[in-house]
Structure 1
Amino acid sequence: MTLLEVRNLKVTYPGGAAAVREVDLRLKAGQTLGIAGESGCGKSTLALALLRLLPAGTDVRGEILLDGEDVLGMRWGRLRAVRWAGASIVFQGAMHSLNPVHRVGDQIAEPILLHGGASTDAARTRAGELLEQVGLPAARASAYPHELSGGQRQRVMIAMALACAPRLIIADEPTTALDVMVQAQILRLIRRLVTEQDLALIMISHDLAVLADTCDRLAVMYAGRVVEQGPAREVYEDARHPYARALSEAFPRIGDPASRFAPRGLPGDPPDPAALPPGCTFHPRCPVALPVCATQDQPLREAGPGHRAACVRVGTPAAEAAEPTGSAGTAENAGSTP
Structure 2
Amino acid sequence: MTLLEVRDLRVTYPGGVAAVRGVDLSLAAGQKLGIAGESGCGKSTLALALLRLLPAGTRIGGEILLDGEDILTMRWGRVRAVRWAGASIVFQGAMHSLNAVHRVGDQIAEPILLHRGATAAAARRRAGELLEQVGLPSARASAYPHELSGGQRQRVMIAMALACDPRLIIADEPTTALDVMIQAQILRLIEQLVAEQDLGLIMISHDLAVLADTCDRLAVMYAGRVVEEGPARQVPAGSRHPYAQALSAAFPRIGDPASRFAPRGLPGDPPDPAALPPGCAFHPRCPVALESCAVQDQELREAGAGRRAACVHVASGTAVPGETPEGEDMRSSAP
For normalisation by structure 1, the TM-score amounts to: 0.94
Q: Quickly say closer, same or farther: Cα 1:322–1:192, change in 2 above 3 A.
A: closer
Matching of residues 280-299 of structure 1 within 5 Å: 280-299=280-299
The one-letter code of the counterpart of 1:233 is: R
The one-letter code of the counterpart of 1:22 is: G
Q: Structure 1 residue 258: deviation in Å?
A: 2.6
The one-letter code of the counterpart of 2:295 is: T
The one-letter code of the counterpart of 1:296 is: Q
Aligned to 1:73: 73
Q: Quickly say closer, same or farther: Cα 1:321–1:229, change in 2 above 3 A.
A: closer
1:43 equivalent to 2:43? Answer yes
Unaligned ranges ≥5, structure 2? 323-335
Q: Tell me the distance in 1 between the aligned counterparts of 2:254 and 2:142.
A: 41
Q: Tell me the distance in 1 between the aligned counterparts of 2:156 and 2:200.
A: 19
Matching of residues 299-310 of structure 1 within 5 Å: 299-310=299-310
- 1:179-237 CA distance string (max 9 Å, x none): 11111111111111111111100000011100001100000000000000010000011
SS in 1 for 2:25: strand
Matching of residues 176-187 of structure 1 within 5 Å: 176-187=176-187
Q: Tell me the distance in 1 between the aligned counterparts of 2:226 and 2:79.
A: 26
Aligned to 1:156: 156
Q: Structure 1 residue 30: deviation in Å?
A: 0.7
1:62 equivalent to 2:62? Answer yes
Q: Tell me the distance in 1 between the aligned counterparts of 2:211 and 2:274.
A: 29
Aligned to 1:213: 213
Q: Tell me the distance in 2 between the aligned counterparts of 1:31 and 1:298.
A: 28
Q: Structure 1 residue 316: deviation in Å?
A: 1.6
Aligned to 2:199: 199
CA contact (8 A) 2:240 2:320 kept: no
Q: Quickly say closer, same or farther: Cα 1:290–1:106, change in 2 above 3 A.
A: same
The one-letter code of the counterpart of 2:18 is: A
Aligned to 2:330: none
Q: Tell me the distance in 2 between the aligned counterparts of 1:118 and 1:142.
A: 19
Identity within the alignment, % = 84
Q: Tell me the distance in 1 between the aligned counterparts of 2:128 and 2:321.
A: 61
The one-letter code of the counterpart of 1:91 is: F
SS in 2 for 1:263: coil
Equivalent residues, number: 322
Aligned to 1:335: none
Q: Structure 1 residue 322: deviation in Å?
A: 8.8
Q: Tell me the distance in 1 between the aligned counterparts of 2:209 and 2:54.
A: 29
The one-letter code of the counterpart of 1:175 is: T
Aligned to 1:102: 102
SS in 1 for 2:303: strand
The one-letter code of the counterpart of 1:113 is: L
Aligned to 1:90: 90
- 1:278-326 CA distance string (max 9 Å, x none): 0000000001111111110001121111100000111424x65999xxx
Unaligned ranges ≥5, structure 1? 324-338
Q: Quickly say closer, same or farther: Cα 1:130–1:282, change in 2 above 3 A.
A: same
For normalisation by structure 2, the TM-score amounts to: 0.94
- 1:215-262 CA distance string (max 9 Å, x none): 000000000000000100000111110001110111111222232122
Aligned to 1:141: 141
Q: Tell me the distance in 2 between the aligned counterparts of 1:7 and 1:191.
A: 26
Matching of residues 187-336 of structure 1 within 5 Å: 187-317=187-317, 320=319
